[in-house]
Amino acid sequence: MPMPSTASGFSWHHLDQWRVGVLPLVLMALAATLYLVGVRRVPGWSRARSVSFVSAILVTFLSTQSVLGVYDMAYFSAHMIQHLLLIMVAAPLFALATPLDLWYAAGGARTRSFLDGRVMAVLTHPLTGFGVYFVVIPLTHLSGLANLMMQHEWVHHGEQIAFLVTGYLFFRVAFGLERGRTLHPGLRLVYVMAAVPVDTFTGLALVMSSAVPFPAYAAMAPAGSSPAWLLSSVHLGGAIMWIGGDALMLLACIPITAAWVKWETARTREIDAELDALGI
């Protein structure tokens, strides 16, 4: 897909451009097929969770195959929007779809043994989800890995997968819907809020950069881009991550807070019933 010839060449007519990425399409089709097979094996599986999974696949498709996927290497702002869609929209939807619970219900004894094993216990531990999020976000934007992503398409696809996996591991703990080690509903809110500074720090680091932090970006940007334009593009991408990331995190806190209030209400009723039974 041809890029705009100059930094100012992007216009609204570019919004109808699409790309055909074989690897992303194959992975999305494989994931959808496996989930559909699982749904067919588990009668009565939640329709809402199935809708969440389909929605996650759709968001992933739009973020990687639409105009965002076409220009995600040329315009750093498009890259950051894609990043936020993957890790803070698609990944939470995957978490709401509870694929591990579906896998557990649809699989056999070996599957359940694996999901109950030590590897999965470590992988799905709340500290793992938080730690991976804390490391992946700055690593993929403030280190040499970002430059490699600009130079190699396979590294770029790996980064996209990493965003989905990182977001899923983080938000499955935040929502607390799947089986395994969970947090108190109130601590889930603290868990999410504690991760907000990661996005803020990374975004501000990009906004305050005095030079383009990844030299390979000059070769990927639209032809004729000046050093000043390259730096402003990085600054815009950083602002999107800072403001957009914090806003999406706060948005995720709404259902988490609602679930906490619901849990506290139910718990209060249980305690009142116990006290009434004791005549207190």
Interval 70-86: pLDDT, tens? 888 888 999 999 999 99
The answer as to whether 106 is a domain residue is yes
The answer as to whether 87 is a domain residue is yes
The answer as to whether 9 is a domain residue is no
pLDDT of residue 1: 45
Instruction: Compare 227 and 2 and report the one with higher pLDDT.
Output: 227
pLDDT band at 113 (very low <50, low <70, confident <90, very high): very high
The answer as to whether 160 is a domain residue is yes
pLDDT of residue 14: 56
- Report whether pLDDT(187) > 60: yes
The whole-number average pLDDT for the span 32-56 is 95
173: domain range? 17-277
Q: How many structural domains compose the chain? A: 1
- Report whether pLDDT(29) > 80: yes
pLDDT of residue 16: 61
The whole-number average pLDDT for the span 266-276 is 78
- Report whether pLDDT(5) > 50: no
pLDDT of residue 12: 47
pLDDT band at 263 (very low <50, low <70, confident <90, very high): confident
The answer as to whether 6 is a domain residue is no
Q: Provide the mean pLDDT of the chain.
A: 89
pLDDT band at 20 (very low <50, low <70, confident <90, very high): low
pLDDT of residue 24: 85
The answer as to whether 252 is a domain residue is yes
- Report whether pLDDT(164) > 80: yes
What type of residue sits at position 198? V
The answer as to whether 4 is a domain residue is no
- C-alpha 77/C-alpha 237 separation (Å) is 4
The answer as to whether 1 is a domain residue is no
Nearest alpha carbon to residue 204 among 241, 251, 233:
241
The whole-number average pLDDT for the span 38-60 is 95
pLDDT of residue 225: 84
The whole-number average pLDDT for the span 213-220 is 88
pLDDT of residue 163: 96
- Report whether pLDDT(145) > 70: yes
pLDDT band at 6 (very low <50, low <70, confident <90, very high): very low
